[in-house]
Chains A and B, each alone.
Chain A
């Protein structure tokens, strides 16, 4: 099973700043099948990024993903108030599909 470790656990930033979230895998993620999801309180997760760097439909271009192998990054430029949420990475290249423990992005 591939274990995903996200850092930091909590990130405190102000609107307009840039957020950099990290996801490290215990072994190489097959074909960069790495996704990022955003979850707000009381809501289901929403797909942001798939294939490590492709934005899902309707996702603003201030969200970008990068990385390969075992190290992946989600970058959010010019934070908007609606971006403050919990973010999860997930690998879907090998079963069992696994999620990171999440990074909470909070308003400073």
Chain B
């Protein structure tokens, strides 16, 4: 079955760039679907960050667009998130997910807590 696993530093300093990778197993990214990132500040709700198609086409949340880059690496079957100029407000659990255009966010990673602090 499809499995996703986030990885990356759990602590990032203010003004620096947050970087996370999502490794996908059980399905080849090259075969289709969108692949997305969602975050959740501790104790709060969910926020969509952006999505990428296997071809590299991206869609970003306008609220974060100026700071977000999502890339896909089909050779490693993974995709990544970069969020620049982070502040404490970016502290959250970051989830990666497989996204179906008709069925929503079907499969999720377990999440990675990223804390922004000096």
Report if A and B associate in a common complex: yes
Q: Is there a chain A Cβ closer than 8 Å to B62's Cβ?
A: yes
Give Cα distance in the complex from A22 to B20, angstroms. Answer: 34
Number of interface residues of B (CB under 8 A): 23
Q: Is the CB of A45 within 8 A of B108?
A: yes
Cα-based distance from A50 to B62 in the complex (angstroms): 24
Other-chain contact of A33, B51, B61, B104 (Cβ < 8 Å): B104
- Check: B110 CB closer than 8 A to any chain A CB: yes
What per-residue 1/0 map shows which CB atoms of B74-118 lie under 8 Å from chain A? 000000000000000000000100011111111011110000000
Asked whether A96 and B104 contact (CB < 8 A) given A44-B111, A45-B95, the answer is: no
Answer whether residue B45 sits at the interface, using C-beta atoms and an 8 A cutoff: yes
Q: Quick check: B105 and A35 within 8 Å, CB to CB?
A: yes
Determine how close the nearest CB of chain B comes to the CB of A58; give it in whole angstroms.
Answer: 10
The bracket for how many chain A residues form the interface is 20 to 34
B62 touches A47 (CB 8 A): no
Chain B residues with CB under 8 A of A95: 59, 61
With A88-B45, A96-B63 known to touch, is A44 a contact of B102 (CB < 8 Å)?
no
Residues of A87-106 at the interface with B, using a CB-CB cut-off of 8 Å, are 88, 90, 92, 95-102
Contact residues in A for B47 (Cβ distance below 8 Å): 99
A positions within 8 Å CB-CB of B:
1, 33, 35, 37, 43-47, 50-51, 54, 56, 88, 90, 92, 95-102
